Amino acid sequence: MQLDKYAILGYPLAHSKSPLIHNHAFRQLDISAQYEKLEIVPREFEEQIPIIKDQNWAGFNVTNPFKQRIIPFLDRLSEEAHKIGAVNTIRVSKEGKWIGFNTDYYGFIQPLRQRAEEFNSILILGAGGAARSVLLACLQELTPKKLVVANRTVKKAEHLLDAFHEVIRPGLMTVASSPESIPVQEYDLIVNCTSVGMGESISKVPLNPAGLGSSKCLVYDLIYNPPATLFLEKAQAEGYQVLNGLPMLVYQARKAFEIWTGRGFEVSEMMHFLRSTNHSCCVSGDLKA
Ligand code: NAP
């Protein structure tokens, strides 16, 4: 029986949960496939991709720092990937064409779908790759009246809003700023798309949540390791609803799995599996995760 081979391309990949998720789903659904890590040293990326193209792969995930650098090597892009300007999933067609998708968009919005109309005022912290998917999803799937992008490097927040001007509907108030200069006001949704709260900055917060937002405010941190960042801990202590990045990780993986195999895995079963391997989800009571 043919074994379809998939991999994640990135650097470093030691902490990637994607092999755990996809290999579990292949086993559960009795699909003859295997998922590996392909760590590529960034300075060798452009040399390595043509070599990988000559091998027999069925698909890939792409993570930092290659989500944009992979684009020149692709034969086609999905509409979302084109608009976002970043790719995290590749399907290799029967003809050997590499088609790029962005499933972070889908993964981010999925836990919010049932509450889409509640978010009138949105604050996005960060202006890197993840913020691009989050911004497009907020613009296309939610109906805010005000949307603020705040980033340490304000120029990047300005560029991000400029890049999406075609999808910003008339009347929507958009602001680019630095986190420190954000006035205390009503936000219904605050999304941390910075890497502050993990790794070297595990003891930092991207913004002090004290006094920000209404009590109904949802504080959504894309980080899933640690399960509760200091930002989420503080936000929860302030009485806000919180959500970490684990459901997003699982939903984006599910979408990628569907793109490759035409089948979907059960999200609740996958969350259960991840919990059994010590990956917990930090979520307030009424949120679907
Ligand atoms: P990225 O492109 O490298 O962007 C990093 C962002 O964090 C930039 O806005 C950067 O600001 C900001 N930042 C970094 N260090 C900072 C510091 N010390 N103080 C203030 N701001 C700082 O990374 P990314 O791909 O967007 O990923 C961002 C986060 O999202 C990561 O934690 C990643 O794990 C998470 N993520 C989660 C999922 C999921 O499925 N749950 C998916 C994708 C990403 P500057 O522009 O000023 O440098």
User: Could you tell me the distance, in angstroms and rounded to a whole number, from the CA of residue 133 to the centre of ligand 1?
Assistant: 12
Weakly modelled stretches of the chain, pLDDT under 70: 184-185, 213, 279-289
Tell me if residue 83 is catalytic.
no
Our CA angle for 265, 269, 270, nearest 5°, is 70
Nearest CA to ligand 1 atom 11: 152
Q: Whole-structure pTM over 0.85, yes or no?
A: yes
Question: What is the atom index within ligand 1 of the atom nearest the CA of 204?
Answer: 18
Say if CB 193 and CB 137 are below 8 A apart. no
Predicted local distance difference test score (pLDDT) of residue 211: 75
Question: What is the atom index within ligand 1 of the atom nearest the CA of 198?
Answer: 32
**pLDDT per residue over 77-116, tens digit each?**
999 999 999 999 999 999 999 999 999 999 999 999 999 9
Three-class SS of residue 46? Answer: helix
The token duo for 175 is 């602001």
Predicted local distance difference test score (pLDDT) of residue 131: 97
Q: Which residues line ligand 1 (CB under 6 A)?
A: 64, 104, 107, 126-131, 151-153, 156, 193-196, 198, 201, 222-224, 245, 248-249, 252
User: Could you tell me the distance, in angstroms and rounded to a whole number, from the CA of residue 218 to the centre of ligand 1?
Assistant: 19
Three-class SS of residue 169? Answer: coil
Sole residue written with tokens 């912290």: 125
Distance set, CA 80 to CA 84, 134, 220, 273 (Å): 6, 11, 22, 29
Distance set, CA 174 to CA 44, 167, 169, 248 (Å): 39, 12, 10, 25
Predicted local distance difference test score (pLDDT) of residue 184: 58
Instruction: Give me the sign of the Cα torsion angle 252, 255, 261, 266.
Output: positive
**pLDDT per residue over 209-236, tens digit each?**
887 767 789 999 999 999 999 999 999 9
Give the whole-angstrom CA distance, residue 96 versus residue 81: 19
